Amino acid sequence: MFPENFLWGGAVAANQCEGAYNEDGKGLSIQDVLPHGVKGPRTEKPTEDNMKLVGIDFYHHYKEDIKLFAEMGFKVFRTSIAWSRIFPKGDEETPNEAGLKFYDDLFDECRKYGIEPLVTLSHYETPLYLAEHYDGWVNRDLIGFYKRYVTTVFNRYKDKVKYWLTFNEINSILESPFMSGGINTPKEELSQSDLYQAVHHELVASAWATKIGHEINPDFKIGCMILSMPVYPLTAEPSDVLAAMEQDHKNMMFADIHVRGYYPGYAKRYMRENGISISVTDEDMEILKNTVDFVSFSYYVSVCATADPKKNVRGEGNLLGGVPNPYLKASDWGWQIDPKGLRYVLNTLWDRYQKPLFIVENGLGAMDKLVQGADGEMTVEDDYRIEYLRDHIRQMEEAVMDGVDLMGYTTWGCIDLVSASTAELRKRYGFIYVDRNDDGSGTLKRYKKKSFHWYKKVIETNGREL
Ligand code: BGP
């Protein structure tokens, strides 16, 4: 039931897999001082316990890894460009040629196997210099630096890359201002006005990217990327329903502006009633009208909302949390698993926008055990991962039958990598196991998990055999 040209594949982000954090002229990114992920404190300088400095050394292993993706039959591979490889500090006039060359080689390698690259321009890896000297996206100058960066990479890769995403999980800035928006001011000291000013700058920058990209190559398909998370009312009590709607608005605002090109009324009301004032120019309003070609999103969890302060407890979840759902089980990291929520999200976004949708992240972070397989090769018997993905793909198919225009599906962390929220390696998502551990030990050797062979079959049969 999946369309013939459906884009099956996998996703990673530069900072979570490349390593080589200071090679070939790369500048530091905010990830290089976040050894404990989003919740832990940041450090002054990169420290050895930061697993991202080496990652899975994709920087030097990408040929071997892309070959394995090709073996699974990937049609698309989502990765990001590390901004600080191209502009090490972020505010330079000229780019770093060695950084540009690396991505030339990487995209060529994908194309060699007929794999379409899908490139995130900014995936939680703002150059550290921009955070420390400009306070990240709070500062309007960031729009100019981002425009220069995207113009450079659009021109350079215009014949190699067709699919682009402007900012990873752009709505997560509300929860994680440093990781998501490079905002150096500690969250507790950051005013709501400054936070929403940063949001506005990112939204304007994203619209600029859409405009500039389409001028450079009219065939580009440029999408926004939202952390999607259905919010269910905890009970049928109407106040809970409205609480759910309001929490959902906070996320949907980002997609609404990207797709419609203006601030929705509920967002203006929220800012007005919470004393949030931001500076918006006439030019900004014009630029926002450059809307996206498609809507992409990550999907891991759903949450509940309630108007009852006594029941309003926060559970674990993908950066943005919510009230746990009493009907759902959770992963080892407390993320509640809800395949049907994916069908719900797909229908909601399709009904709202009538724009093509792309699931660019979904998967199960779990603790894997390397064992000897029947053929003597080391492997992981990850039936739990297969079950998780199968259940989600079934719901995707339901949504396609509902009439949703779905472009593709890239599972998160198709090869094991460092977690964004906890910076751990033991939280594994891949079809490919990488021998590297949180104490820095490991040979970096790659092993195919059971799910590797399963996903190969899924792609081969275009989702008919699950
Ligand atoms: C999303 C991020 C990814 C990724 C994923 C899984 O929020 O876009 O970068 O890491 O979630 O989260 P984690 O790595 O925390 O398990």
- State whether the beta carbon of 130 lies less than 6 angstroms from ligand 1: no
355's CB contacts (< 8 A; 6+ apart) are 259, 292, 293, 294, 295, 349, 405
pTM for this structure? 0.98
Cβ-in-10-Å burial (0-12, 13-18, 19+) of 158 comes to middle
Task: Judge whether 13 and 172 are in contact, CB under 8 Å.
Answer: no
Taking all residues of the chain, what is their mean pLDDT, rounded to a whole number?
97
Tell me the mean pLDDT in the region 214-237: 98
Of 16, 318, 320, 415, which is best to mutate to test ligand 1, by the most ligand atoms within 8 angstroms of its C-beta?
A: 318
pLDDT digit string, tens, across residues 374-399: 999 999 999 999 999 999 999 999 99
Q: Could you tell me if the CB of 122 is within 6 A of ligand 1?
A: no
Cβ of residue 420 lying under 6 Å from some atom of ligand 1: yes
| Residue range 439-453, pLDDT digits in tens | 999 999 999 999 999
Q: Are strands 294-299 and 221-228 parallel, antiparallel or unpaired?
A: parallel
Q: pLDDT of 304-345, one tens digit each?
A: 999 999 998 888 776 777 899 999 999 999 999 999 999 999
Residue 313's pLDDT is 84
* CA–CA gap between residue 236 and residue 90 (Å, rounded): 49
Residue whose Cα lies nearest atom 12 of ligand 1: it is 420
Q: Tokens standing for 128?
A: 């550290």
421 alpha carbon to ligand 1 midpoint, in Å?
Answer: 6
- 3-state SS, residue 395: helix
* CA of 216 relative to ligand 1 center, distance in Å: 31
The span from the CA of 91 to the CA of 71, in Å, is 40
- Determine the distance separating the centroid of ligand 1 and the alpha carbon of 420, expressed in angstroms: 5
Which residue has its alpha carbon closest to ligand 1 atom 3? 420
User: Contact 27/84 with Cβ under 8 angstroms?
Assistant: yes
Q: Is 365 in the pocket of ligand 1 (CB under 6 A)?
A: yes
355-376 tens-digit pLDDT:
999 999 999 999 999 999 999 9
Which residues are annotated as catalytic? Answer: 169, 361
* Separation between Cα atoms, residue 175 and residue 173, nearest integer Å: 5
pLDDT digits (tens, 9 = 90+) for 13-54: 999 999 999 999 999 999 999 999 987 889 999 999 999 999
Q: What is the full DSSP assignment across 62-109?
A: HHHHHHHHHHHT-SEEEEE--HHHHSSSS--SS--HHHHHHHHHHHHH
Measure Cα distances from 47 to 34, 35, 52 in Å: 9, 7, 10
The encoded tokens of residue 313 equal 């407890």
Name the token pair of 451: 């799910």
The confidence score (pLDDT) of residue 50 equals 97
For the Cβ of 429 lying below 6 angstroms from any atom of ligand 1, the answer is no
| 139 token code pair | 């500062």
Beta pairing, strands 7-11 & 446-448: unpaired
| Closest to 281 (Cα-Cα) out of 173, 208, 175 | 208
